[in-house]
Amino acid sequence: MEEQETREKPRRRPFGKKGKKHARKAETIVDEEDDGPNCFVIRKGKCSASVKRLTTDFRLVMSPRTASHLKEKKSNTLRDYMAVSSQLKVTHFYVFSSTSVGNAYLRVAKFPSGPTIVFRIEKFCLQQYGILFSSSFLLSSPHKRPA
């Protein structure tokens, strides 16, 4: 008798159970700039000098996520800013305005579709006055450090 080689046959998959080839997903690189909301701080209409200064101070407060050197013109409308905002990934608008009587208002709007909240500004202190008062307070303080 002839000797037959005993080979183990590889297991076959049942029909329709072909091995799937998964493509590896590209790793997403998270930029630090994209993780938070970006905003525009805008002035609308005729504003007093103090409201203009308040706008620049508010830009400094929101400085890591806002356009600090935004060029504003009288001819710009809110739609102009909205057209640019999608390209710059802007999510919030802070719009300062004042009336002829002297009342100042702040509108906070979420873009593209969100609520708009209106605040009436009754009192505010500008940065220059805050620095002036704090330095004069420190100079006139009776609890000075000994030299």
36-138, which class in CATH? alpha beta
Per the CB < 8 A criterion, the answer to whether 67 and 53 are in contact is no
Query: What pLDDT digit, counting tens, does each position of 4-55 carry?
Result: 666 777 777 777 666 656 655 555 444 455 556 688 999 988 888 888 899 9
Q: Distance (Å, rounded) from C-alpha 137 to C-alpha 135?
A: 5
Query: Rounded mean pLDDT of the chain?
Result: 78
Global pTM reads 0.64
Asked, as a colleague might, if the bond just before 112 is cis with ω within 30 of 0, I would say yes
